[in-house]
Structure 1
Amino acid sequence: MKSLTVSLVIAAPLLIWATVSLAASSTEEEDLAQVYGGEEMVSIATGTKQPVGKAPAVASVVTAADIKAMGATDLDEVLETVPGLHVSRSENGYNPWYTIRGINSGYNPQVLVLINGIPTTNTFVGDRNQVWGGMPVQAISRIEVVRGPGSALYGADAFAGVINIITKTKQDIEGTEVGGRVGSFDTYDGWALHGGEWAGFDVAASLEYHTSAGQKSIIESDLQSQLDQALGTHASLAPGPVNLSRDNLDARLDLSRDHWRFRGGLQHRGNHGNGVGVAQALDPLNRFGSDRWNADLTYQNAEFAENWEVTGQLSYLNASQIVERNLTLFPPGTQLPIGANGQIDFASPVALVAFPNGYIGNPENWERHARGNLSAIYRGFEYHTLRFGAGVNYDSIYKVRVSQNFGLDPETGSPIPFMPGVPLIDVSGTASTYLPTKDRKDFFFFVQDQWQFAKDWALTGGVRYDRYSDFGETVNPRAALVWETRYDLTTKFMYGSAFRAPSFSEQYILNNPATLGNANLKPETLDTIELAFDYRPLDKLRLGLNVFNYWWKDIIRYVPDSDAPSSTAQNTGTQTGYGGELEAEWKVLDTLRLAGNYSYQKSTDTTTHQDAGYAPHHQVYLRAQWEFLPDWQFTPQAKWIIDRDRAAGDNRQAVDDYTWVDLTLRRKNIHDHFEVAFSVRNLFDVDAREPSLAGNPAAAIPNDLPLAGRSFYGEIRVSF
């Protein structure tokens, strides 16, 4: 595989040289006509629509047509095609880690995911929800991705990158579509989309259902296996399959009229398996559930007054994490060292206690998010476009519930008895609760100026100020110089600053034998510089190249406590990284389109002076879309994940490289209304794995996290 990497590095400049040579035979008039004609637009770079090539950011756009052609069934399959972005997996439920340019930690809070411009971030651990369960793609119109910092516009967590998922409107649907899919692992999907008019409103509605038993790759050894070896017990359920069942329901409604738009949605998750176990010990019986309700109302008037465009928005999100079936942290028959507080204590145990029912704890929480903002664009100056705005965000964990068979009984103050048949003790609202109810307020304002100071030069500068009720204030500037070097070449030089807010668990979690919060945490910070080129030498060929360097400071990590078995969250350590991304899109023929990218990154933990680990140093992606007969489309795609080091202190061998190949065959316009498709995932059935966490003295899952083997999917859709 290393020989492939070397070949690609050598081939990249040769590809650019060959492209320049081909460009000599193309007339300038033809090139100019295409450069401005069919280019995708992106809005999250500045808050206004711009061509991707001229936006002051390194951005990618994936359209609904792209998603359909590649046969993607979930958001993660789409994001894996974006340069510099790798979708890894968490032990907990195999939740996705969107690793951009090697930046990643814990629950992956360093990437801001928006749905129609509104954050999906949960404050509990800073991710999209512990019961994420994936996101279907039928209702997605386009996905915009910015690699690099975005806090100058979007505030917290727009750190390593920003992903904006834009859902379909009436104009994207125009009629009704229903469809279904059947696939491996007892997977069944169904969906219905409708776009039309009602009582003077444009209406778009979608309903998507997904159920699956989940792939059953085997975990050879887990944390309980290590405990068994040390204590002479036989409680571990390993070797055993991962727990990845899912029952999902996604519903969305979009109503618009004149300058107003209302959106509402529900993401229901049930029967949600926990992957390899929350404590990295297999738990095949546990099931989680979640309901995420959202609503937003937007007023946008591009002609509010002369030279003024005004946008106002109110939004609300309510999210839950519930336990549908007991969360067994360690399986029945386990023996654990228990301290005086009734919890695990390896440092100073009172007794070695057997748990015939397993070590059970059921943490649940509910949170709400309310947001309001007002922004305006002023175009009254000849060479300037000003954008400024202000708003307030309110985040709250308003309910916490937990029951368990360990710890202290809040009524007696004594350890909970560990005997068969003893019911779980509800410790909600007591000193034994793992998390108190908390809220957070953020007041912010921002200003941005796009200054066309010369014919082919534009300077975008901006800054955002945030003041939080719990950890104080932060200021994040950005600057981007965009030079239209030639009619077919754009050069960009960019700087940006970003911050990541501490999650509520990092600040306030307590009564946890593993981790404790720290109310004095500061936000993580990031500074990034980038140089990017967008080159369109032919009317049907686009090349992009960028290089970057970043400095990540005040990283929040859990540091072992000297006088207790726990670790406490601290701002400690820094990480630096550099790399580059090369991408190409070429419409070879009217019936053949090629796309691909190559990404390289090198990230170093400056505390240990070793590689930060987990993220691939090299990624390669290639896709062809070939309409080999009228209404017949064949789309093969392949990705190579190459060279992943371990983190400092992890003595395992490097994670194996893998090559993943998918095929999709689609037949459109059957009797004008029908369409069928057939897909194969992991065509060659490779043993692909994502890295498990390092451990002390050894990793809990030593053989990493296995991905699904070869799988098959067939679908049919009807439009009318």
Structure 2
Amino acid sequence: MLFCTLVPAGANATGQEDSFWDTSLEELGQIRVVSIASGTETPLDKAAAITSVISAEDIAAMGATDLDQVLETVPGLHVNRSDQGFSSKYVFRGMTSSFNPQALVLINGIPATTMMFGNRTTAWGGMPIKAIERIEVIRGPGSALYGADAYAGVINIITKSSKDVQGAIVGARTGSFDTHGGWVESGTNLDSGVGISFILEYQETNGWRETIERDAQTNFDESFGTAVSLAPGPVNTSVDQLDARLDMGTDNWQFRAGLQDRRNMGTGPGVAQALDPNGRFSSRRFNTDYSYRWQDVTDGLDVEARVSYFNITQEPENDIALYPPGAFGGAFPEGFIGNPGYKERQVRFDLSSIYSSFNDHRVLSGVGAFWADLYDVSESKNFNPDFSPKGGVEDVSSDPSQVWMPEEHRVNYYIFVQDEWQFAQNWQLVSGVRYDHFSDFGNTVNPRTALIWATTDTITTKLLYGRAFRAPSLNELYAANNPVALGNPDLDAESIDTFEIALSHQVTSDILYGINLFYYVIDDLIIATPIPGRTSKEYQNSGKRRGRGAEFETTYQALENLKIIANYAYQYSKKSNGGELVGEAPNHQIYGRTEWRVVPGWFLNTQVNWVGEQKRVAEDSRGPLSDYTTVDLTLRTEGLWRGLDLSLSVRNAFNDDVRDPSPYADPIPIPGDFPMPGRNIIGELQYHF
């Protein structure tokens, strides 16, 4: 994918000397900028997309300790939990599904996506935030630059380099749910001009243990006349996290490596939505990339090449009980056990350029290739393809008639071009197109265009259009011997066309607001559709969806020591063929935060998050999931005493009953929905050498 190259200091973005886009990096450093929207550093209000930027300072003000807590503050983006092991779902503008492949997560511009499920793995296990310098978010399509799965939205996590880490920091954390952890940050610049930074963070937690009253096994107990369900019982949300980041480089080259290791990871409500208090998964994600930049190859031409490697594993640590001991009328005295695992490796090569010597134009272009290999697929289980007992757990990894997934691979080639044309003093037109070829499902072409008008000195107006696509995952294409859904090798990619209009207004130096309206149409939606036979469903391209909505956000510097940040989001989406609501996502959200410097060095921050009721899918007879409000308080210091700082956060301070929607099935496995954490407290101490 395209690497976000910085515009050289003093460079003219469009070739016009008095352009308001002609902004040096020194000036850009004084305002909020974004690179994810068009591939180069751009003032946020002039970006060619609906974007948000969250800095490390913002993250500290929130008292956040995990990426999910940060992303929930973005308008139009709601974070909830999947039935797949309670893995995080990043729901943009109401677009949701079990595996959540509609949201593309990048780490330093490189996708953190598995081809297996099209998401961050079902054992994502969260992402701690100490290594994050800033987060850039596109709400809307991004495939014209970022290719597959930049569909409903794009999240680019930019990690710290030696420019962001000076000296050394050590810290420790403790809190509710038997949570304990610590971190180390270190950065230096060598005499040779090479900057090096290293960040290590570890945390372990038993997780929240809120109660599920009845589960999928409860339904089977009523059918078989048994009583083996473990419900009522707590969800299984333990996880041990180890994250490490190394960054080194100069002005021309950069090398990065990262490790995200997850152990002792609980199965949430159970893999089959039947409680499994003992099941544990592990997942390891290792990535490395090297990039080299040639500046001024010829007049106005910068070129960058990058190669990257990404390896993902997801494996059970012990027997995973899909249903508890005694399931199915006692046919499975040890439980109905299935232990799937897989490994995946990816290699990417990207070559991109920026040419700015055309009059009033800047042209971005790039080519690239991507190779993914699903290998070492494994499974052990104690049931046959017809669900009869085997008599014991048996390794079926080498038996294609029984293993859950064949080993497959994918190759992708792409080319893109984008032109940024300032055709008048206050007007810019950004237009681009990207072509992708995939070895397993064919070709896609995704255009975009953005008309940006500096309406006045304080108002910017945008008209945007973009097409994006979601590649069918390997699971959707090839899954076999799966008791839930079969793959379909004839699938096409999903596509979405999005139209947006936006306005931002700097009312005074202290007040800024922005509002945008959007409308989208989804075609070739991939859905697990009922079919006759032993397996009840198969993935198929089925129907269309339409959605519309609005997002509003504002920042107000009320006093020198008091800042107020707020946003509101509305979305409404339905199926085109029947007009039925999509459901399982809030139609309304409101967020607000105050940042108050009580006295020099002491900050008290309060945030309130209201999530409106979440309607059900048309087939689900349950009433809407009730709205909820969480209030978080954070007291923190800056420069308290000789490099020592403290932070204390209370999340969900009033202990509201927060629930995420459980999916519909007949009968409903968990009718009471998924319970989220109640009131919890976290304290941090850090020392800066």
Please give the range of the TM-score, normalised by the shorter of the 2 chains.
over 0.9
Q: Does the alignment pair 1:203 with 2:172?
A: no
* CA distance, structure 2, for counterparts of residue 113 and residue 240 of structure 1: 33
Q: Does the alignment pair 1:44 with 2:14?
A: no
Query: 2:3 aligns to what?
Result: none
TM-fit CA distance, 1:542: 1.1
Query: 2:226 aligns to what?
Result: 233
Query: 1:90 aligns to what?
Result: 82
Deviations 1:333-384 (A, max 9, x none): 0116xxxxxxxxxxxxxxxx61000000110000011000101110111110
Q: Does the alignment pair 1:371 with 2:341?
A: no
Query: 1:711 aligns to what?
Result: 680
State the SS of the aligned residue for 1:486: coil
Mark the runs of 5 or more structure 2 residues left unpaired by the alignment.
Answer: 1-22
Query: 1:679 aligns to what?
Result: 649
* CA distance, structure 1, for counterparts of residue 186 and residue 29 of structure 2: 30
Deviations 1:216-263 (A, max 9, x none): 000001000000011101110000000000111000100102301000
Q: Does the alignment pair 1:488 with 2:465?
A: no
TM-fit CA distance, 1:35: 11
TM-fit CA distance, 1:540: 2.0
Q: Does the alignment pair 1:120 with 2:112?
A: yes
Query: 1:331 aligns to what?
Result: 324
Question: 2:597, 2:603 within 8 Å by CA — same for their partners in 1?
Answer: yes
Q: Does the alignment pair 1:274 with 2:267?
A: yes
* CA distance, structure 1, for counterparts of residue 393 and residue 343 of structure 2: 24
The one-letter amino acid paired with 1:52 is: L
State the SS of the aligned residue for 1:170: coil
Question: 1:207, 1:252 within 8 Å by CA — same for their partners in 2?
Answer: yes
* CA distance, structure 1, for counterparts of residue 396 and residue 497 of structure 2: 45
Out of 282, 294, 297, the residue aligned to residue 304 of structure 1 is 297
Out of 646, 653, 668, the residue aligned to residue 699 of structure 1 is 668
The one-letter amino acid paired with 2:638 is: K
Please show how residues 560-571 of structure 1 align to structure 2 within 5 Å. Answer: 560-571=530-541
Query: 1:664 aligns to what?
Result: 634
Question: 1:35, 1:539 within 8 Å by CA — same for their partners in 2?
Answer: no
Query: 2:179 aligns to what?
Result: 187
Q: Does the alignment pair 1:147 with 2:134?
A: no
Query: 1:440 aligns to what?
Result: 410
Question: 1:403, 1:428 within 8 Å by CA — same for their partners in 2?
Answer: no
- How many residues get paired? 664
Question: 1:608, 1:648 within 8 Å by CA — same for their partners in 2?
Answer: no
Query: 1:316 aligns to what?
Result: 309
The change in CA–CA distance for 1:564 and 1:176 in structure 2 (over 3 A counts) is same
* CA distance, structure 2, for counterparts of residue 423 and residue 226 of structure 1: 25
Query: 1:543 aligns to what?
Result: 513
State the SS of the aligned residue for 2:365: strand
The one-letter amino acid paired with 1:520 is: D
Query: 1:402 aligns to what?
Result: 379
Question: 1:35, 1:488 within 8 Å by CA — same for their partners in 2?
Answer: no
Question: 2:185, 2:197 within 8 Å by CA — same for their partners in 1?
Answer: yes
Question: 2:400, 2:406 within 8 Å by CA — same for their partners in 1?
Answer: no
Query: 2:582 aligns to what?
Result: 612
TM-fit CA distance, 1:559: 1.0
The change in CA–CA distance for 1:153 and 1:36 in structure 2 (over 3 A counts) is closer
Query: 1:55 aligns to what?
Result: 47
Out of 77, 82, 93, the residue aligned to residue 69 of structure 2 is 77
TM-fit CA distance, 1:717: 0.4
Deviations 1:179-200 (A, max 9, x none): 0110000001200000102463
Query: 1:339 aligns to what?
Result: none
Given the two structures, how large is their TM-score scaled by the length of structure 1? 0.91
Query: 1:68 aligns to what?
Result: 60
Please show how residues 93-172 of structure 1 align to structure 2 within 5 Å. Answer: 93-172=85-164
The change in CA–CA distance for 1:423 and 1:90 in structure 2 (over 3 A counts) is closer
State the SS of the aligned residue for 1:173: coil
Deviations 1:10-57 (A, max 9, x none): xxxxxxxxxxxxxxxxxxxxxx9x997832110010100000000111
Query: 2:331 aligns to what?
Result: 354
* CA distance, structure 1, for counterparts of residue 144 and residue 103 of structure 2: 14
Question: 1:288, 1:322 within 8 Å by CA — same for their partners in 2?
Answer: yes
* CA distance, structure 2, for counterparts of residue 415 and residue 700 of structure 1: 19
The one-letter amino acid paired with 1:640 is: W
* CA distance, structure 1, for counterparts of residue 62 and residue 146 of structure 2: 30
Question: 1:328, 1:361 within 8 Å by CA — same for their partners in 2?
Answer: yes
The change in CA–CA distance for 1:513 and 1:86 in structure 2 (over 3 A counts) is same
Please show how residues 252-271 of structure 1 align to structure 2 within 5 Å. Answer: 252-271=245-264
State the SS of the aligned residue for 1:290: strand
Q: Does the alignment pair 1:174 with 2:166?
A: yes
What percentage of residue pairs aligned between the two structures are identical?
47
* CA distance, structure 1, for counterparts of residue 65 and residue 366 of structure 2: 37
Question: 1:189, 1:208 within 8 Å by CA — same for their partners in 2?
Answer: yes
State the SS of the aligned residue for 1:233: coil
Out of 530, 545, 548, the residue aligned to residue 500 of structure 2 is 530
The one-letter amino acid paired with 2:90 is: Y
Q: RMSD of the TM alignment (CA)? A: 1.6
Query: 2:17 aligns to what?
Result: none
State the SS of the aligned residue for 1:149: coil
* CA distance, structure 1, for counterparts of residue 224 and residue 37 of structure 2: 56
* CA distance, structure 2, for counterparts of residue 545 and residue 365 of structure 1: 44
The one-letter amino acid paired with 2:171 is: G
* CA distance, structure 1, for counterparts of residue 214 and residue 578 of structure 2: 28
TM-fit CA distance, 1:396: 1.2
Q: Does the alignment pair 1:391 with 2:391?
A: no
